Structure 1
Amino acid sequence: MALHGDSNEELRLFQTGEHPCGYFPERQARDLVLDPQDSRLGELYPMALGWGFRRSGDLVYRPHCQQCRACVPVRIPVARFMPDRSQRRCLARNADLDCRVLPAERSDEQFALYQRYLAARHANGGMDDHGPHEFDQFLVGRWSHGRFLEIRTHGAQGRLLAVAVTDVTPLGLSAVYTFFDPDEQARGLGTLAILQQIAWAQRAGLPHLYLGYWIDGHRKMDYKRRYRPLEYFDGRHWREDTAAR
């Protein structure tokens, strides 16, 4: 399969073979993948976000399952975002924390937090043996425009609580992956990370924060619908999700 990018050069798409679904263990999944050898991936990636694709390491993919359409690309138009009561409480609860944006370069402190997060939240999930190389391969990649949004306790020696891996493009930010201290569940660090990414996009004058895929009713993915307004991609156009909070 082929598409044409802005350069009018053919862009090749590959369909993967079936593999176990990461969200529904009883199902098989397939993906569409932009040609990983295409030297233009970095420049094409913002356009691909608009087509409902997502990045994992150096791969730009979109679910393409024959019998299932559960994965729905979603994004927040940040200029119109207004936090709800629960999100305002999260911001107030974490007003003592500091946030900073850094280059996407792994530190020992970040990697240690990543390992703790995986052990607590995704034990036996296929990522248990991730070492430094796998961290870089999965979260940094060779061509991405990534940054690390760190969330720390206040002070010069503030303790690292969370890292939101975020891609920066001219068309918006993309929330790639977030890991956080599993002992700080009461803070709602996952919610805080998204709220901070929204604020970052607003400051930068970027129109959207891409959240990846929403899955209706899925315990780990349905949370994305709590951010309003929310737009979803129907395969051709982005449309506003008009359902109530």
Structure 2
Amino acid sequence: MNTQATPSPQFYLTAPAACPYLSGEMERKVFTHLVGPRAGEMNDLLTQGGFRRSQNIAYRPACEGCRACVSVRILAGEFSLSRNMRRVLSENDDLVGTMSAAQPTTEQFVLFRKYLDDRHQRGGMSDMSALDYAIMVEDTHVNTRLIEYRKRVPGAGIGDQPKGELIAVALTDLMSDGVSMVYSFFNPALERRSLGTFMILDHILRTQQLGLPHVYLGYWVKGSAKMNYKTRYQPQEHLTPRGWERYAEDGSEA
């Protein structure tokens, strides 16, 4: 009988810093390292417990006196498309999403910089270099994939893989109970396509095809206008002190 103790993760607390979502608030995070042969299993457990992954770090908010950040996951098996969501899928039916290993390319980085320069000029990621981007993609010990969304090449046959224009990219973790959308970016000039919405819908459809229940969207921040979009994908669950509970779009627990 093996009596050797299983190593437990060590957790750490960051120093207070200005909250990037709510003016006047300070944020702190609790975090641990995701390394070693059990990293994938640990990532599953921590994500289900409200953590997010960034490179080889799993973290969650640990702010004093504020509980605005709430973990959100879509119930993929029960999800149905709204009329507007069908329109978004139709608008992007000329795109092909290809999943591959988490390997960065120059083409991806050019699109990433275009996205940051348009959407996040003053954010914490605004000065990321090509090396920083490569680390963001490659520094993972879990089952991480990249999905590239490209324009379909006219006349391409079944099995052909010609490379059309790169429109959007998603960095995604595959988990035992679904997928976790780690980070996504797209060509900001193509606003009419609603590419952010399209990628979430594509992940929901992929999760349904896998027969898995959840798409993890990260944190919804109550009071932050730029996070309001996350509550549109119903039905969904929010992680509360009582565990995962259904959340209605009107703000009530379903």
Question: TM-score, length-normalised on structure 1?
Answer: 0.91
CA pair 222-139 structure 1, distance change in 2 beyond 3 A = farther
2: CA distance, partners of 1:105 / 1:166: 12
- Write the letter of the residue equivalent to 2:208: Q
2: CA distance, partners of 1:119 / 1:140: 22
| Deviates most, 35-44 or 224-233 | 35-44
Please show how residues 1-245 of structure 1 align to structure 2 within 5 Å.
9-35=7-33, 40-155=38-153, 156-244=162-250
Deviation digits for residues 7-49 of structure 1, max 9, x if unmatched? 8543322121111212124221001112466763332000111
Shift of residue 157 of structure 1?
Answer: 3.4
2: CA distance, partners of 1:40 / 1:133: 27
Q: Contact 2:72/2:236 (CA < 8 Å) preserved in 1?
A: yes
Shift of residue 220 of structure 1?
Answer: 1.5
CA pair 29-38 structure 1, distance change in 2 beyond 3 A = farther
Q: Contact 2:145/2:173 (CA < 8 Å) preserved in 1?
A: yes
Alignment partner, residue 157 of structure 2: none
Q: Contact 2:33/2:56 (CA < 8 Å) preserved in 1?
A: no
Q: Which runs of 5+ in 1 are unaligned?
A: 1-6
- The structure that has the greater radius of gyration is 2
2: CA distance, partners of 1:236 / 1:76: 18
Report runs of 4+ in structure 1 exceeding 4 Å deviation.
35-39
Q: For this pair of structures, how many residues does the alignment match?
A: 239
CA pair 35-100 structure 1, distance change in 2 beyond 3 A = closer
Q: RMSD value over aligned CA atoms?
A: 1.8
1: CA distance, partners of 2:34 / 2:209: 32
CA pair 17-83 structure 1, distance change in 2 beyond 3 A = same
Deviation digits for residues 221-243 of structure 1, max 9, x if unmatched? 11010000010000341000034
| Deviates most, 112-121 or 142-151 | 142-151
Q: Contact 1:51/1:235 (CA < 8 Å) preserved in 2?
A: no
2: CA distance, partners of 1:226 / 1:168: 23
2: CA distance, partners of 1:33 / 1:98: 36
Q: Which runs of 5+ in 2 are unaligned?
A: 154-161
Q: Contact 1:32/1:61 (CA < 8 Å) preserved in 2?
A: yes
Shift of residue 148 of structure 1?
Answer: 1.0
CA pair 133-170 structure 1, distance change in 2 beyond 3 A = same
Question: TM-score, length-normalised on structure 2?
Answer: 0.88
- Write the letter of the residue equivalent to 1:55: R
**Identity across matched positions, percent:** 38
1: CA distance, partners of 2:146 / 2:188: 19
SS of equivalent to 1:106: coil
